[in-house]
Amino acid sequence: MDSATTSQVQLTVNGKPVTLELDTRTSLLDMLREHLGLTGTKKGCNQGACGACTVLVNNRSVNACLTLAAMCQGASVTTIEGISENGRLHPLQEAFIRHDAMQCGYCTPGQIMSGIACIQAGETYSAHAVREFMSGNLCRCGAYQNIVAAVLEVAEQAGGRR
């Protein structure tokens, strides 16, 4: 077993293969922002409390700040930059705009990634269920009402409402 203070990591980010040699301490969040220029994913608290850094790893929502990049060897990572298709916004992005589900916008990428996970998990049978599932995403502007409305609307459109 090789042990070193730099490590090579090969993974897929938004469908594209990536190989990087990184300091072992590099978080997935810093890898995305500093090494790949994907600054849509935000650094809020950097300690797993705010959810601004939420991305999907192998289709599961995680806090990129508490994940070391090295732990993502072989993984498939999806960020806010990777959810639009052919230049069209993801339905949840469109719903966030329609519902004005943000004020300053800093938490928005994390909210949207968490909202996608919420809809996939089917935890959209009530506003309370959405709030519970997404309680790991803080919005200090207090846009929760509209965030929940946007998630519920997309879930309904997708037939994901139970």
Partner 1 sequence: MRPVSYARATSVAEAIAALRAHPDAAFLAGGTTEIDLLRLDVVRPNALVDINALPLSRIEDLADGGLRIGALARMSDVAEAPAVVERFPMLMQALLLGASAQLRNMATIGGNLLQRVRCSYFRDVASPCNKREPGTGCSALDGINRGHAVLGTSDHCIATHPSDLAVALIALDAVVRTEGPRGARAFPIDEFFLLPRDTPHLEHPTEHGELVVAVDVPAAPIARRSLYAKVRDRESYEFALASVAAAMDVQGGVIRAARVALGGVATKPWRARRAEQILVGAPAQRDTYARAAREELASARPRQLNAFKVELAQRAIVRALETLAETGGPQ
Query: Which residues contact partner 1 by CB under 8 A?
Result: 1-5, 7, 23-25, 27, 46-48, 51, 54, 60-63, 65-68, 70-71, 73, 114, 117-118, 121, 131-137
- Contact between 77 and 57 under an 8 Å Cβ cutoff? The reply is yes
For residues 73 and 84, which CB has a smaller minimum distance to partner 1 in the complex?
A: 73
For residues 73 and 157, which CB has a smaller minimum distance to partner 1 in the complex?
A: 73
Q: How far is the CB of 91 from partner 1 (least distance, A)?
A: 20
Q: How far is the CB of 121 from partner 1 (least distance, A)?
A: 8
For residues 22 and 143, which CB has a smaller minimum distance to partner 1 in the complex?
A: 22
> b vs e for 92-113, b when ≥16 Cβ sit within 10 Å of the residue's Cβ?
bbebbeebebbeeebbbbbbbb
Task: Give the C-alpha distances (Å, rounded to integers) separating 56 from 16, 28, 127.
Answer: 14, 11, 23
Cα–Cα distance, 109 to 127 (Å, whole number): 20
